[in-house]
Structure 1
């Protein structure tokens, strides 16, 4: 089939916020982080269950450090709010100084949680005072918006990290036992066909005159996408259990070599948080019966890829996914729903678009996390934000039940290492077409 030039609609232009609007957004995002941390005790907040995760207290401090270092301290003569803590709450910005080792963040019993919350207040007072004066240049305003987007990422990480920490406790305590549930029925799996086409993907370069996108989403460029079909919804728990029952974790031929090595080394035989009977799972509300209709989650790339091969399909490429999502409203089960867990919608494909593209579970793609043609990272230390991680990671798309809705868009590129499965990650199937 011959290719045709199609240009999925980019997000409509959004005017940059005024300093007053940005101040309101700043307060809302910062307060939301404190609300998400509110169910945690001081003991909960300093637990680090594995090197890849971070304590909730560290998330609270690091997101404040970001504003202190990249907004407040950029003003003439300004020093960090607390210079003694500067290296404690740096993450990986090596060009601005040393950082405390990631794997040892759980050893930081001091400063206390109360001191960290006070640190947040002092940073907020300083940043809001700058916004109230209304004399910030465009670059500073863009860094504040970047800091808010960064904080929304850490809001999700706070939830996924504390979920893993609580699961590691033999008592399996709940983050919030009162979280609501939304029963639903998974729609019948359908296949949404797409012809071969040259499409535009990505976002305009950072910093943008309007709206927001990370530098790793740019530049917008043309891509040849072959004829394919995408599944109308993510894979469900019931479908994933069929893979397990059919010996999926015992069949080496279904797995990537690194994946099979991981299965054998780690003793994987089911998704993270599923119990041995495959009928219940650990959630942020504690242990609950496994909903067979809900999207399967907490899967590594290796598990997602093995399931796809077992199902006679494959994982979608990230541009196949973005092409399907372009022009689709960012609507779904996000952190704002209060469920903090994937749920079946009962709805199927509409207007030729797959369902549940946004929210519920991050969807693994077959695409390695790499630079787009012509990629240019952010200037200065902020150039360390995304670009230096373009090695050994895989792209996920769409957001999850722990993602803030305002943080997502069709061009958004999340990335994790293939073995990672403590995030709310699942999969959608794809197939080639002649």
Structure 2
């Protein structure tokens, strides 16, 4: 696909995700992990302006010099920024201003792309597009959190097509033979730097489940007092349960003795056959312990993934997010993209139903803190 066409497609999809929102929805930030939708619109635009247009397009004038302070996320090398907790305080720039900003940058980018970019610029452009696709998924998850914590539980889009599971084949364990496995990206296409440095890993014999844990499965854990029995939990996880009064996955609500869940179509009766989602690593580990099983490591997951269907939910693994052997951060601000987060986080593998099309692969390494569950996170068991 022509790079300018791909650029237009990615940028248009971001705005299409925001189309069902009311203007008031664009500014809300209920918790630190959730950014207002309008901030995502501005930040993804800032990325192209900062890393491609300003250094490479002769005569380019930034739309507004103050936007570097407003829309820088975490790049220390690029200067000061609004702290993450204050993104919801940005009533200005307005949503209209930010859409004008996007149009201004898009015009400059498309003019620049009338000539085939140099390889280094094209690499940055492809990174920027993948970066925006990451934010498209974050838009979905953040919008769900914003509306799912509104007391009225308003629907994001009554016509949203919520994928339904196809469970015609029986669930079973796949037996994987022990030995050396090659782990990491291998190919000519795009990958993030944390997938590089392909290397060998020795795995013992293991078994991994073909299906994700369902809502029905997880209800058995709840009904058996899973949230009330410390034996299933890490000490930190047990403190998290008690301090936050956690009794069920995020978005679950018991109404008239019947479980419901908030979805993009509003509050709906819980779909028992669907894979459980919006659980933390703490909950995933506790459920596995209750079953007398465990979570797979990220290496086991990657080795076994060609043998099962994945992509419904991001899947917690038992692996800490660490660099692969030989990993080195790129120089400059781009080196801050992944490397500096390789501490105190757990790896997730796969993709989810809100992952952008073409943005998932077996080697993709997602990562979050152990208590977070606003992402579409689920559970696959191993032994």
- Shorter-normalised TM-score: what interval? over 0.9
1:28 aligned onto 2:9: yes
Partner of 1:217: 195
1:107 aligned onto 2:89: yes
1:318 aligned onto 2:272: no
TM-score by length of 2: 0.96
Partner of 1:46: 27
SS of corresponding position for 1:213? coil
Paired positions, count: 379
Partner of 1:309: 289
| 1:193 equivalent among 172, 175, 200 | 175
Partner of 2:368: 416
1:385 aligned onto 2:345: no
Could you give the per-residue CA deviations for residues 89-142 of structure 1, whole angstroms, max 9, x where no partner exists?
A: 0000011111111011001011110110110011111111111122x2211100
Could you give the per-residue CA deviations for residues 1-37 of structure 1, whole angstroms, max 9, x where no partner exists?
A: xxxxxxxxxxxxxxxx6xxx11110000000000000
Q: Structure 2 unaligned runs (5+)? A: none
| 1:295 equivalent among 272, 275, 295 | 275
Partner of 1:354: 308
Q: How does 1:258-407 map to 2 (within 5 A)?
A: 258-276=236-254, 277=257, 279-325=259-305, 328=306, 353-355=307-309, 357=310, 359-407=311-359
Partner of 1:158: 139
| CA distance in 2 between partners of 1:182 and 1:419 (Å) | 26
| CA distance in 2 between partners of 1:268 and 1:424 (Å) | 18
Going from structure 1 to structure 2, the CA distance change for 1:184 and 1:167 (only over 3 Å counts) comes to: closer
SS of corresponding position for 1:244? helix
1:91 aligned onto 2:43: no
| 1:238 equivalent among 216, 228, 248 | 216
**How far has the Cα of 1:80 moved from its partner?**
2.8
| 2:225 equivalent among 233, 247, 263 | 247
Partner of 2:101: 119
1:363 touches 1:397 (CA, 8 Å); kept in 2? yes
Q: Structure 1 unaligned runs (5+)? A: 1-16, 329-352
| CA distance in 1 between partners of 2:173 and 2:101 (Å) | 51
TM-score by length of 1: 0.85
Partner of 2:36: 55
1:202 aligned onto 2:154: no
| CA distance in 1 between partners of 2:226 and 2:171 (Å) | 21
Partner of 1:167: 148
